[in-house]
Amino acid sequence: MTSPLPFLDLSLALVAITSKFILFKNIMDSKAQMLDIVNDDIKLHCITQAIFAEHNRSDNNTIGFDQFYSIIKAMNRNTSYRPPRKGEVREIFKEIDTDNDGLISFEDFKILIRRVLMCALDI
C-alpha cells in the first residue's frame, strides 16, 4: 500500500541508518518505548539531537537539501525500500522545511522524527 505522502514511505526507514540510528532502532524495540518517546519531549529532543548533530556540518543548527538527501540515501541502504529519487526527497524536504528558507532546522527535523515514530505506531 502506498502512502499519500512519499515522506511516510521513506520515513519508516529512519530507524536503521548510522550508529546513531542503530542506537535509535535498539531503543525502539517496543511500541511502548516508541510511544513513550513520542509523548516525552525531553526524550524526543535527546534522540533527535544525536541524529541531527551527526549530520549538521555547520554550527548554524540547520541542514540543507544535500545533507538531507545524504541522510535519506544512507537510511535507505539498510532497508528493503527502493532507493529514493531525488525529486521525492526534495518533496519531503519541502514538507519538512516549514519556514521555506531552504534549510531544515533542528525543530523541523524533530517534527520529522516525531512523525516517523507516529507513523511506525500507526497513530
Encode pLDDT of 70-81 as tens digits.
877 776 776 667
pLDDT-based confidence at 102, cuts 50/70/90? very high
Question: What structural domains and CATH numbers belong to the chain?
Answer: 6-120 (1.10.238.10)
Neighbouring-strand partners of residue 105: 62
Question: In the chain, which ranges are continuous DSSP H helix?
Answer: 6-11, 19-27, 31-39, 41-55, 65-77, 86-96, 106-120
Report pLDDT digits (tens) over 40-87: 999 899 888 887 887 777 778 899 998 888 877 776 776 667 777 899
Q: Which residue has the cell 535507505?
A: 76
Q: 99 vs 7, 48, 95, 107, CA distance in Å?
A: 18, 19, 10, 11
Distances (CA, A) of 83 to 3, 8, 9, 111, 118: 16, 14, 11, 23, 23
Kindly tell me if the per-residue pLDDT of 106 is higher than 70. Answer: yes
